[in-house]
Amino acid sequence: MKKFSYEARDQASNKIIKASLQADSENAAARLLIKQGFVPLSIHEQIGDGNPLARLTGRITTKDKVVFTRQLATLIGAGLPLSQSLHTVLEQTQNKQLQSVIAEISAAVEGGKSLSESFAKHPRVFNEVFISLISAGELSGTLDESLARVANQQEKDAAIVSKIRGALTYPIIVLVVIIGVLLFMLFTVVPQVEKLYSDLDKALPPLTQVMVSSASFLASFWWIVVIVVGIGIYFLLQYLKTESGITFKDTFKLKVPIFGKMFQKLYMARFARTGQTLLSTGVSMLDMLKVTSRAINNSVISKSIDRATEKVQGGKALSSALEPEDNITPLVPQMIKIGEQSGRIDEMMGKVAQVYEDELDEEIRTISTAIEPILMVVLAVVAGGMVGAILLPIYGLVNGLNI
């Protein structure tokens, strides 16, 4: 099947539409447009994949996807045909890269593909949860509701991640400033202190000597430091792409002091919220577990869910399957058990997600408040070290002079 870009007039609104579609020939593309209520003005076959530079510019953010999903849900819910809804959303989208993706989705739909199959061609933009919910909505005839649930899911997940990143941003900035001040002192002030002692033929104090030696080494062999750090970062990044590296990184996230519990609650909230969304859309229990395992973004938690999935496949209840897993917090199987008894597992999973989301909000606020005094102590220690290494030796040197 070939891909064609076209310009056509919508007979219903009299608007000029510019988009693309897939068809066997130019005549087939024209017939398809006429069938959909458009008057073809120009049709051209697309050669290649377009401008590669344009594809690299303009990142598609979560907000862009949420707006697109909500607009599409509203239009479909209002009774507009899917193809026309996609064209309308395409016109309202500002992000150029997302426009290109929507145009390709529209072309695939007009070429006979289902909406979920069309989304699945863009795995970097739309994850498995997104595609599974769209597929379930198509099967159940509730596509608009599924799209709305997708948007809610994306918003909640993005909000939690944004809050955790926000809590980490402030200390990272302060640490960068501290390192910058240290480097400034090493390369400007410390050499002057060394020169002063050298002119007076005096021995440097031990702490000052360490700083002088460090400054001299960095000034003379900075290129070695850059190469070593660069190689170290490269091999670390390569290691983190391996299976053992991914396991190490994901285990570290769960075990790191202070933030480990926060990450675990984040993953539990993501598991419960995704599970609730999938089950309420009509996805089966086993499919829900398989999708959430891949969507959780932590290999350690994913393995726990996979083990539980095998037990559920063998006839065990989900609550009983999750209970022995150390990486699954006790509240999750307890609430799911209540849901199994009442026949409302999706509702109970939603409540679990809400509990952990609220706890995360509280912990992030607490940590953000506690970080400030901790950083003040760090700054005091750094300032004290600089005073001890630079100012005190100078005072001692001046006091020891016979004037």
Three-state DSSP class for residue 36: coil
DSSP-derived 3-state class of residue 402: coil
pLDDT band at residue 107 using 50, 70 and 90 as cut-offs: confident
> Tell me: the pLDDT tens digits for 86-97?
888 888 888 888
pLDDT confidence bin for 400, thresholds 50/70/90: low
Averaged pLDDT of the chain: 82
Residue range 259-360, CATH number: 1.20.81.30
Whether 379 and 178 have beta carbons less than 8 Å apart is answered as: yes
User: Up-side HSE of residue 33: CA atoms within 13 Å toward CB?
Assistant: 30
> pTM of the prediction?
0.67
Residue 382: name the closest of 170, 180, 172 by CA: 180
Which range has the top average pLDDT, 78-92, 285-299, 320-334? Answer: 320-334
Report d(CA 91, CA 18) in Å as an integer: 9
pLDDT digits (tens, 9 = 90+) for 359-383: 888 888 887 777 778 877 877 887 7
Task: Over range 107-134, report the average pLDDT.
Answer: 83
Highest mean pLDDT among 39-53, 284-298, 376-390: 284-298
Query: Structural domain boundaries of the chain?
Result: 2-126, 259-360
Could you tell me if 210 and 385 are in contact, meaning their C-beta atoms sit under 8 angstroms apart?
no
Contact 6, 39 (CB under 8 A): no
Residues ≥6 apart with Cβ < 8 Å to 157: 270, 273
Q: Give the residue among 56, 60, 123, 52 at the shortest CA–CA distance from 93.
A: 60
How far, in Å, CA of 264 to CA of 402, rounded?
65
